[in-house]
Structure 1
Amino acid sequence: MGGELVTIINPLRNPPLGDQLLVQLRSLIVRGELGVGTHLVEGRIAERFGVSRGPVRDALRQLEIEGLVETRKRGVFVRGLSDQDLLELYSLRGALESLAIRETIVRLESADWGQIDEALDQMRIAADPADPAKFAAADLDFHSGFYTLGGNRWLTATWALHRPLFAAVMEITNTDRELASVADDHVGLRDVVRSGDVDAALAALTAHLDGSCGRIRTTLSERPRPQPAF
């Protein structure tokens, strides 16, 4: 079991917002800097990040919803992100996005591809020079475009619940990749969806997500664990 909170990276600044805290804690857990079993003490996190206990409590509650931490009798502890977790997350994403693409193709005649095309432009901008965080955000904007085009607000809301975790994982993976070719892969996926061929689009999506999942699993398994932040 990991030790209690002892130190932290630079405190949040200008201003110490709860959403910034959540992003940092999520990233620390995904990167393994907060190891499985680490006891997350509200007061100590609040002190190290320079926030009140309210945002800490909210962040821990959200991380528990995402499955990254768990509440036990003695408090909240890091559960982490295992290889099996990644497989299950990508299985869920594949199911959600397959439905989004099916519904997008049904609406092809009235589809506005502005959001997806803008995301592709932002991916190219973030690829040169490489900006992993911005690239991951644009990447997910691209995929979110299919949910928007599909027009199913419940499906879109479900995807929105999981998007932040995918962003944290992809940002790490993108530091080790040539991003221009990744942007080109997304152009190919857009084009096959716009063709209206459902089977080809779903096959392309499956290959795309399988490749992404495989690279992320390899990257996370091979990365040396950094010194603990807490």
Structure 2
Amino acid sequence: MESLGERLANELRRRIIVGDLPAGTRLVEEDLAESFRVSRGPVRDAVKILRAEGLVTGAGRNVVTRSLSEADIDELMALRESFELLAVERAIATSRDDLVRELKAALVDMDAAAADRDSTAFTTADIRFHSAFFQAAGLTRLSVLWNQFRPTIEGLLHASGKRMDDLAPSAREHHDLAELIAASKVAEVKVELHRHLQTTCSRLQAAVPPSPPPRK
């Protein structure tokens, strides 16, 4: 179950990613506590989470938001790819059947969301699909790394998904990946996963809100 600080971090993260809290916006502890009707403890917890994710900088009364640039997203997705390649190879070798079952369940939700043009549900299923690699791999430290980056990645996917008129092509890419994984075609899985994540990276970068003009 999420803590109050985590829920607050989720909302602030969403606002930062979609541009509702532009880069340089000051996050004043007492103002946030009053706005969200919480004590300052959860606010401090939320700021700590966002600082670890690189979405805020500073301390005390000088905490400000930091938007993600195209270079930030490129770095984030490069790290994600390295984690996923290791996880999926390990999962295929040790727990392929369990992995395939979880992927199929995620694909059912993904197809339903695509049919309904529900980008929010689609992103939830997308994250479930990719998280299955780490669950099946059984590598604790690798899962910790994925869980650290996953909230930011999920927030970016939600923001970019709202701009997608047709979710079916992305669903097909996931079906192709699942079929290769089921056939234990590790080399082909790696090629397809790289291509898929590169496409995703370009989509996320295109959804980045423009930076505000410098203050005079």
**Normalising by the residue count of structure 1, what TM-score does the alignment of the two structures yield?**
0.84
Measure how far apart 1:137 and its partner are. Answer: 1.3
Matched-pair contact (CA < 8 Å) for 1:42–1:53: yes
Match of 1:32 among 3, 19, 34: 19
Question: For residue 58 of structure 1, what is the aligned residue in structure 2?
Answer: 45
Alpha carbons 1:68, 1:78 under 8 Å: kept: yes
Q: CA deviation at 1:73?
A: 6.8
1:215 to 193, 203, 206: 203
Counterpart residue type for residue 178 of structure 2: R
Which residues in structure 2 correspond to 1:1-230 (within 5 Å)? Answer: 17-72=4-59, 74-107=61-94, 111-177=98-164, 178-220=166-208
- 2:131 and 2:99 mapped to 1: Cα distance? 13
Which protein has the bigger helix share? 2
* 1:111-131 residue CA offsets vs partner (Å, 9 max, x unmatched): 452221111111122223222
After TM superposition, which residue ranges in structure 1, 4 or more long, deviate above 4 angstroms?
none
What is the RMSD of the two structures over their aligned residues, measured on CA atoms?
A: 2.0
Q: Secondary structure at the match of 1:107?
A: helix
Q: Distance in 2 between matches of 1:42 and 1:171?
A: 27
Task: Give 1:201 deviation, angstroms.
Answer: 0.8
Paired letter, 2:103: I
Deviations 1:120-163 (A, max 9, x none): 11112222322222211110100011112222122112111111
AA aligned to 1:184 is R
Counterpart CA distance in 1 for 2:5 and 2:106 is 27
**Structure 1 unmatched runs, 5+:** 1-15, 226-230
Contact 2:98 2:136 in 1 (8 A): yes
* CA distance in 1 between partners of 2:206 and 2:26 (Å): 27
Contact 1:120 1:186 in 2 (8 A): yes
- Structure 2 residue ranges without an equivalent (≥5): none
Confirm or deny: 8 A CA contact 1:108 1:196 kept in the other structure: no
For 2:94 and 2:71, locate their aligned partners in 1 and report how far apart those are by CA, in whole Å.
35
Cα distance in structure 1, aligned partners of 2:172 and 2:33: 42
**Residue 181 (structure 1) shift:** 2.5
Tell me the percent identity.
35
Equivalent position amino acid for 2:206 in 1:
T
1:109 and 1:91, CA in 2 relative to 1: closer, same or farther beyond 3 A? closer
With the length of structure 2 as denominator, give the TM-score of the two structures. Answer: 0.89
The one-letter amino acid of 2:54's match is: G
State the Cα distance separating 1:190 from its structure 2 match. 1.0
- The answer (yes or no) to whether the contact 1:108–1:194 under 8 Å persists in 2 is no
Q: Which moved more, 1:148-157 or 1:70-79?
A: 70-79
- Cα distance, 1:44 vs. partner? 0.4
Q: How far apart in 1 are the matches of 2:18 and 2:66?
A: 13
